[in-house]
Chain A
């Protein structure tokens, strides 16, 4: 079933696509994080912004990614932006929720103590609230990277300039070897990212280990 010869002949191409996959993912994660931090701080400070942001976030997730990639082509043409805009949009949904939850998780006593010590609102945010929100932010980064890696695979619908490893899934839908290279590669990349960031999460927040089993339950 698997044509090992094809794989041997295409190792260079596979490595190149892996690089592209990582590049597209990292850009989206970085841009998305910067935007989300601003949005989340705004949401934590201004209540109406918060309900709007959370509301939009719920709707974005119902838009099929396949459609979002394709729908932008007639509007902005085919460029790096056509891939990155949807990727960033989906990371926003995950990041903002997690950062807001992180800021919400700061106990009121802590905030009162910070105020008592004479912190200004911005000083309190930078020195007290954001550091305490780090565990949930990293949990957000983990979810966002896994989801982005999966979405880059789907961006192969846009043609051969994109898709990372997903390119191999789209190129010839009846050639098993190529499909498996794209699929197994994407899965391996996503699971490695998840395991790596999970370790980082535990390393940075050893006190949260006891809560680990409770994490992730959506209500």
Chain B
């Protein structure tokens, strides 16, 4: 731990492409892009399945398979293909992003459809009885009620992605995993622990931030229910 403090206090570690700010930016960027793409796929699918209750078995199986795939294997399996298409980023960027999307889809998908399909049936019926269209039932009743659960899925996906994106460093993707892989290779414990601290800190920050969003979004529903 002291080694990490010494490492952090060296100004050379705070500049350039191997410095803390650049790699932190890389890590946040890759995680953000992966989670956003996963959301673009999983949210509409989860809303459709949750609202229509069609294809629940499909979603469960897809989520189980997605959860079962080892993250390093998910990165490694695409390396030979993307590298053949595009030697540079195909080796060090695309494999990690693709694997992180695969990793982030299951929690978002499961929470979205479980949240929407778990909305009180009486509530949905009365919304229909009031003359709401299916679209209105979804956007004005189901989504607002389910939103804390949906955000919960995004939250666990983000934490997983931030912690796992470190694996990309094995294939030369810098980001925060770079400090860990280089720390190991160079027997530099300070750099290794600095990398661990940065990743854990970023993950906890995402966890805390999204937990806050989750509570904010849940509050008005709880207030109205009482």
Chain A contacts to B: CB under 8 angstroms:
1, 58-59, 61-67, 70-71, 73-74, 143, 146, 149-151, 153-154, 157, 166, 169-170, 173, 176, 179-180, 182-184, 186-187, 190-191, 193-194, 198, 212-214, 216-219
A-B contact pairs, 20 of them (CB 8 A): A61-B160, A62-B203, A64-B166, A67-B166, A67-B199, A153-B73, A157-B170, A169-B73, A180-B76, A186-B72, A187-B77, A190-B70, A191-B69, A213-B60, A213-B114, A216-B63, A217-B115, A217-B152, A217-B153, A219-B152
Most buried by B among A63, A143, A193: A63
The docked-state distance in angstroms from the alpha carbon of A154 to that of B111 is 28
Chain B CB within 10 Å, residue with most, of A183, A191, A198: A183
| Segment of B31-39, B130-138, B181-189 engaged in the interface with chain A | B181-189
Task: Give 6 nearest A-B pairs by CB, closest first.
Answer: A150-B70, A176-B80, A62-B203, A217-B114, A183-B77, A183-B76
Let me know if B156 and A218 touch, CB within 8 A: yes
Do residues B149 and A217 form an inter-chain contact, with CB atoms below 8 A? yes
Min CB–CB distance A183 → chain B (angstroms): 4
Residue of A with least CB distance to B181 = A66
Give B189's nearest chain A residue, CB to CB. Answer: A74
Decide if B180 touches A66 in the complex (CB within 8 Å).
Answer: yes
* Complex contacts, B153 vs chain A, CB 8 Å: 217-218
Contacts of A166 in B (CB 8 A): 72-73
Complex formed: what's the CA distance from A143 to B67 in Å? 9
| Extra 4 A-B pairs, beta carbons < 8 Å, given A63-B163, A187-B69, A190-B69 | A67-B192, A70-B180, A194-B68, A219-B149
Residues of chain A within 8 A of B163, CB atoms compared: 61-65
Determine if A218 and B107 form an interchain contact, defined as CB atoms under 8 angstroms apart. yes
Nearest opposing residue in chain B for A188, CB measure: B73
Write out the residue numbers on chain A whose beta carbons fall within 8 Å of the beta carbon of B115.
217
Residue on A nearest B79 in the bound complex, by CB: A179
From B56, B110, B114, B207, A58 is in contact (CB under 8 Å) with B207
Q: Taking the complex as formed, is B17 at the interface, i.e. its CB lies under 8 A from any CB of chain A? A: no
Bound form: Cα–Cα A73–B117 in Å: 47
Of residues 20 through 71 on chain B, the ones whose CB sits less than 8 Å from some CB of chain A are: 56-57, 60, 63-65, 67-71
Tell me if B84 counts as interface (CB < 8 A to partner A).
yes
**In the complex, chain B residues whose CB is within 8 Å of the CB of A65:** 163
- Measured CA separation A219–B60 after assembly (Å): 17
**Which residues in A have their C-beta under 8 angstroms from that of B169?**
66
A217 to B74, CA, bound (A): 23
